[in-house]
Amino acid sequence: MALLVAQILHGLVGLVRSPVSATLPQIGSRLFLTWGILWSFPETHSHILVTSLVISWSITEIIRYSFFGMKEAFGFAPSWLLWLRYSTFMVLYPTVRSGLIYIEVGLIYIALPYMKASEKYCLRMPNKWNFSFDFFYASILSLAVYVPGSPHMFTYMLAQRKKALAKAKAA
């Protein structure tokens, strides 16, 4: 999961056409959930939402990398795989992204009591940097960003789908 940072870097240096403004929130949320929540708070592992998250992410990545692998190996991808690549989000997104309200937001919410109790990743004052940070409150802030961010990402993905499928139809 940590290697996903490379996707952001690839966008920054122009190796891929994906805009960083779309890639950063997607990769950032995955890294936050993987490292900030699941790895940091093992108490969350047994929750059913973890299973839903892993299944949704796995389906997404299997389709995505199959599509890119076919394009790299053969110079094209079958139309059914193109359609899956740009359409499965419409089912999976409500369970993962907009369902951030359901799965990702749910996992953050489940971890909040453990964050508060452990004070993990908190920096209290006074300290030599004269700076304070509380992971619990930063996580609550992230919840506030997820809600308005989800419709924006969904709309972006719909536009990408329309463009990719129209381009394939014209070819």
Which helix H or strand E contains 7, and what residues bound it? helix 5-13
- Widest pairwise Cα distance in the chain: 64
93 is catalytic: yes
Give the active site residue among 43, 61, 102, 104.
104
18, with CB counted inside 10 A (0-12, 13-18, 19+), is middle
Contact 104, 37 (CB under 8 A): no
Give the active site residue among 93, 114, 119, 121.
93
- Measured distance CA(161)–CA(44) in Å, rounded: 34
Q: How far is CA 43 from CA 16, 18, 28, 95, 113, in A?
A: 37, 35, 22, 22, 10
104 is catalytic: yes
Catalytic residues: 93, 104
